[in-house]
């Protein structure tokens, strides 16, 4: 599919701000400060954008064994999207300010909940400001009241920790770890109690998907790089993970953008994996 099926440029979005068929979502977040995203949104955001919290709206309850950002309930998420005015015939645009590291999670979740028309603002808030995009401050748009729900077919594949464990064989899927190299190698771990990676996983930090301006590399370049990493494997034979299932979506999105569709997300990711001492850990 063409790149415009996945990304929207700042000037194109600016021209559609008054379009009632477009809904915009600000998903800025800081893993070390859960309140930072809301503060940034209130300081300034794309006019008409709704704020979605990664720690609340885009995540479910933690149990101590299901990772730091479990998937939300699909019905609850669908109901929220409907209260924001999103329907099957409307376009959702998501953005953050960190190389789309959080926007990709919102993109994946909306696709998972059955919304096919979802785009990421290429370059995020920084690109918007650099292009002279309009801004508004304050609490911003508020979802309407109401318990209505949309149908929630699971439109994006996932795999459980048990499935990943069962696949740790030479014939199993290719695991791609999206964390920075020091975390992947187990040299440091600022967020989880155990350092390391799932045995057999290869590392592709999300920065590898971006150019120097924090925008996604061209699809043809991404395809070449991922094909070199896959060594002939089909996209459906690839499982993505990270620390808690957020930035893993970055590599998954980049593969989709590159025309390599069908790879799988391990939502619990490392934070779930390392919660069970019986699961194997690799360090380099």
Q: What is the CATH number of the domain that holds 86?
A: 3.40.250.10
193 and 82 within one domain? no
The structure's pTM equals 0.96
Q: Is residue 19, in this structure, part of any structural domain at all?
A: yes
Q: Is residue 76, in this structure, part of any structural domain at all?
A: yes
111 and 33 within one domain? yes
User: Is 242 part of the annotated catalytic residue set?
Assistant: yes
165 and 126 within one domain? no
189 and 78 within one domain? no
106 and 9 within one domain? yes
230 and 126 within one domain? no
Q: Is residue 42, in this structure, part of any structural domain at all?
A: yes
Tens of pLDDT along the chain (284 residues) come to: 566 799 999 999 999 999 999 999 999 999 999 999 999 999 999 999 999 999 999 999 999 999 999 999 988 898 899 999 998 889 999 999 989 999 999 999 999 988 989 999 999 999 999 999 999 999 998 888 765 555 556 679 999 999 999 999 999 999 999 999 999 999 999 999 999 999 999 999 999 999 999 999 999 999 999 999 999 999 999 999 999 999 999 999 999 999 999 999 999 999 999 999 999 999 98
CB distance 262 to 236 below 8 Å: yes
120 and 177 within one domain? no
Q: Is residue 117, in this structure, part of any structural domain at all?
A: yes
The whole-number pLDDT of residue 153 equals 61
CB distance 65 to 275 below 8 Å: yes
Tokens representing residue 78 in the block: 């669908």
Q: Is residue 135, in this structure, part of any structural domain at all?
A: no
As a whole number of Å, the CA-based R_g of the chain is 18
The whole-number pLDDT of residue 27 equals 98
27 and 120 within one domain? yes
Q: E strand or H helix at 164, and its extent?
A: helix 161-166
Q: Is residue 169, in this structure, part of any structural domain at all?
A: yes
Please state, in angstroms and as integers, the Cα–Cα distance from residue 173 to each residue in 215, 225, 241, following that order: 29, 18, 12
Q: Is residue 30, in this structure, part of any structural domain at all?
A: yes
Number of structural domains found in the chain: 2
Q: Is residue 146, in this structure, part of any structural domain at all?
A: no
What's the domain range around 87?
3-130
Pairs from 131-136 (Cβ < 8 Å, separation ≥ 24): 131/10, 131/11, 131/14, 133/10, 133/13, 133/14, 133/46, 134/14, 134/17, 134/46, 134/47, 135/44, 135/45, 135/46, 135/47, 136/44, 136/45, 136/46, 136/47, 136/48
Which distant-in-sequence residues (6+ apart) come within 8 Å of 53 by Cβ?
29, 34, 37, 38
Phi, psi of 196 (to 5 degrees): 130, -165
Which distant-in-sequence residues (6+ apart) come within 8 Å of 100 by Cβ?
120, 122, 124, 210, 214, 216, 250, 253
Active-site entry in 84, 242, 249, 274: 242
126 and 187 within one domain? no
9 and 124 within one domain? yes
CB distance 250 to 176 below 8 Å: no
The whole-number pLDDT of residue 152 equals 58
171 and 106 within one domain? no
45 and 96 within one domain? yes
Domain boundary among 115, 130, 145: 130
The whole-number pLDDT of residue 28 equals 98
Tokens representing residue 137 in the block: 């401050």
The whole-number pLDDT of residue 102 equals 98
């Amino acid at each position: 599919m063409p790149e415009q099926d996945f990304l929207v440029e700042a000037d194109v979005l600016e021209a559609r701000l008054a379009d009632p068929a477009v809904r915009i979502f600000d998903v800025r977040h800081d893993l070390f400060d859960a309140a930072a995203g809301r503060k940034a949104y209130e300081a300034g955001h794309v006019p008409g954008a709704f704020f979605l919290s990664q720690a609340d709206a885009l995540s479910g309850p933690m149990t101590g064994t299901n990772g730091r950002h479990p998937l939300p309930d699909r019905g609850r998420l669908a109901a929220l999207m409907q209260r924001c005015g999103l329907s099957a015939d409307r376009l959702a645009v998501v953005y953050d300010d960190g190389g789309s590291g959080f926007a990709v999670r919102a993109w994946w979740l909306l696709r998972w909940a059955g919304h096919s028309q979802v785009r990421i603002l290429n370059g995020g808030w920084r690109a918007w400001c650099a292009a002279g995009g309009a801004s508004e401050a304050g609490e911003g748009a508020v979802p309407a009241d109401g318990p209505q729900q949309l149908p929630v077919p699971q439109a994006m594949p996932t795999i459980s920790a048990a499935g990943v464990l069962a696949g740790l064989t030479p014939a199993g899927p290719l695991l791609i770890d999206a964390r920075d190299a020091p975390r992947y190698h187990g040299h440091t771990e600022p967020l989880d109690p155990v350092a390391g990676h799932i045995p057999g996983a290869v590392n592709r930090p999300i920065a590898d998907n971006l150019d120097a301006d924090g925008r996604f590399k061209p699809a043809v370049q991404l395809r070449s790089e991922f094909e070199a990493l896959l060594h002939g494997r089909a996209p459906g034979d690839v499982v993505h993970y990270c620390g808690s299932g957020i930035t893993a979506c970055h590599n998954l999105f980049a593969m989709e953008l590159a025309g390599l569709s069908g790879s799988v997300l391990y939502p619990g990711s490392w934070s779930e994996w390392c919660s069970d001492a019986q699961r194997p850990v690799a360090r380099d």
